[in-house]
């Protein structure tokens, strides 16, 4: 980490005009919050410093990669990520063959992560294209949707439905297709397939969010202990285990509540209300900004903007179920921050294009 940190500082000082661009504002503000928090409030443990450094390097890599490789992110990035995920899933089918034994995990070894990756692959294959032409596109899309189902991830199931609505819009036809698809999945669920649909509709015999209940309760109680200034940078997705009663510790699924499976609660526990208000304020600001832009220019919106807009909206939803925006090296976290950068760039380019077209050409007399 020290080596990466040194090289990152060198690049920041050398290319500071690019690094502190307006499109990267939120990432730089969070890095500044981390520095101030570490210097003024944190216990300054090694774990806290490692988090501070890792987050700074993560954001710097994203900033510089877009600053110097914008054409790639606006072009082939979607296709490459989608096919990497697809290849990984196919390899997993040969190495992890227990496709119908409860929730399928593949070689990712995490059903929720597998479902999330399948949704991202579907979105990156469908949304950047105006129409699906080759038969192969349809086959791949149905295959990835099947992986979403067998993963049993509720957030992934919601994401797959969102991709369809982003692609084809909200119409009578699309609603009928969703109802028909839901009916088929329901029938499969009745015969033992533990899909995301069955877990939401309670066909698996549990309430939709029963397994998240204790995580949310004790994460919130942990936040209340240090609600003003948080528990510290080192306490990422943290739950104070001293607050958990002994009868819950004795339960077989106790490991499920070792961390807060909610990105918003994780931010609150880590930073406290003072600093997290700034982060959540920016989330709301960008949500309003992007939705407003989408509603104004929806007739001429580019497929690239629509794809990144989907990632932004979906990440905010997944954050209710998982720590989707809090990780350092996770796919969900990096794609979320990248979407904010790219959406800001698209909006800036649209504004610049309007300004240029509104300036009358000078004629030489």
Output the CA torsion 239→243→246→247 (10° steps).
-80
The full length of the chain comes to 365
pLDDT in tens, 176-213: 777 777 776 666 666 555 544 555 555 444 455 556 78
Supply the DSSP symbol for 133: -
Please state the rounded mean pLDDT for residues 257-268.
86
Give residue 60's pLDDT. Answer: 93
Give residue 4's pLDDT. Answer: 66
Q: Is the pLDDT of residue 38 over 90?
A: yes
Tell me how crowded residue 108 is: count the other CB atoms within 10 A of its CB: 20
Among the residue ranges 127-141, 169-183, 267-281, the one predicted with the least confidence is 169-183
Give residue 363's pLDDT. Answer: 46
- Report whether 294 contacts 343 (CB < 8 A): no
Residue 10 half-sphere exposure, CB side, CA atoms within 13 Å? 6
Q: Is the pLDDT of residue 233 over 50?
A: yes
Per-chain mean pLDDT for the chain: 84
- DSSP codes joined into one string, 162-202: HHHHHHH-S-HHHHHHHHHHHHHHHHHHHTT---HHHHHHT
pLDDT in tens, 314-364: 999 999 988 889 888 889 999 999 999 999 999 998 887 766 666 555 544
Share of the chain above pLDDT 90, in %: 44
pLDDT in tens, 53-78: 999 999 999 999 999 999 999 888 99
- For the chain, the domains span 81-208
- Report whether 219 contacts 266 (CB < 8 A): yes
Tell me the Ramachandran region of residue 152: left when phi exceeds 0, alpha when psi lies from -120 to 50, beta otherwise. Answer: left
In terms of Cα–Cα distance, which of 83, 85, 81, 184 is closest to 137?
Answer: 83
Give residue 205's pLDDT. Answer: 47
For 351, the 3-state DSSP assignment is helix
Terminal-residue alpha carbon distance, the chain: 63
What the block records as the tokens of 179 is: 């109802």
What value, to the nearest 5°, has the Cα angle with vertex 198 and ends 309 and 253? 95
Please state the rounded mean pLDDT for residues 245-273.
80
For residue 4, give Cα distances in angstroms to 24, 29, 34, 224.
20, 20, 18, 36
* Burial (0-12, 13-18, 19+ Cβ within 10 Å), 220: middle
Output the CA torsion 358→359→364→365 (10° steps).
80
Give residue 56's pLDDT. Answer: 92
Please state the rounded mean pLDDT for residues 160-186.
79
Please state the rounded mean pLDDT for residues 219-237.
93
Output the CA torsion 116→122→123→129 (10° steps).
170
Please state the rounded mean pLDDT for residues 263-267.
95
Cα 215 to the chain's mean position, in Å?
A: 20
Q: For the whole model, what pTM was predicted?
A: 0.89
pLDDT tier for residue 1 given thresholds of 50, 70 and 90: low
Give residue 259's pLDDT. Answer: 76
């Amino acid at each position: 980490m020290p080596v990466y940190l040194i090289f990152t500082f060198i690049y920041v000082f050398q290319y500071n005009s690019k690094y502190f661009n307006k499109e990267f504002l939120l990432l730089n503000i969070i890095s500044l919050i981390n520095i101030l928090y570490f210097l003024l409030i944190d216990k300054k443990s090694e774990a806290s410093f490692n988090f501070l450094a890792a987050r700074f390097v993560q954001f710097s890599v994203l900033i510089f990669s877009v600053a110097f490789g914008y054409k790639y992110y606006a072009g082939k990035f979607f296709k490459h990520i989608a096919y990497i995920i697809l290849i990984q899933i196919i390899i997993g089918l040969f190495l992890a063959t227990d496709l119908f034994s409860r929730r399928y995990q593949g070689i990712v070894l995490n059903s929720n992560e597998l479902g999330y990756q399948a949704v991202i692959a579907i979105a990156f294959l469908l949304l950047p294209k105006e129409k699906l032409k080759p038969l192969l596109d349809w086959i791949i899309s149905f295959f990835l949707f099947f992986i979403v189902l067998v993963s049993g991830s509720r957030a992934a199931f919601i994401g797959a439905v969102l991709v369809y609505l982003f692609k084809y819009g909200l119409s009578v036809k699309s609603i009928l297709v969703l109802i028909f698809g839901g009916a088929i999945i329901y029938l499969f669920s009745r015969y033992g397939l533990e899909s995301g649909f069955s877990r939401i509709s309670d066909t698996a015999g549990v309430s939709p969010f029963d397994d998240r209940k204790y995580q949310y309760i004790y994460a919130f109680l942990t936040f209340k202990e240090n609600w003003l200034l948080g528990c510290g940078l080192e306490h990422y997705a943290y739950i104070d285990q001293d607050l958990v009663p002994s009868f819950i510790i004795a339960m077989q699924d106790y490991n499920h509540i070792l961390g807060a499976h909610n990105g918003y609660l994780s931010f609150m526990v880590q930073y406290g209300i003072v600093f997290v208000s700034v982060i959540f304020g920016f989330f709301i600001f960008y949500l309003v900004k992007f939705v407003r832009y989408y509603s104004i220019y929806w007739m001429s919106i580019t497929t690239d903007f629509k794809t990144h807009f989907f990632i932004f909206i979906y990440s905010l939803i997944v954050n209710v179920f998982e720590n989707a925006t809090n990780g350092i090296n996770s796919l969900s976290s990096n794609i979320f921050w990248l979407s904010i950068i790219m959406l800001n760039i698209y909006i800036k380019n649209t504004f610049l294009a309007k300004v240029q077209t509104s300036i009358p050409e000078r004629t030489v007399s």
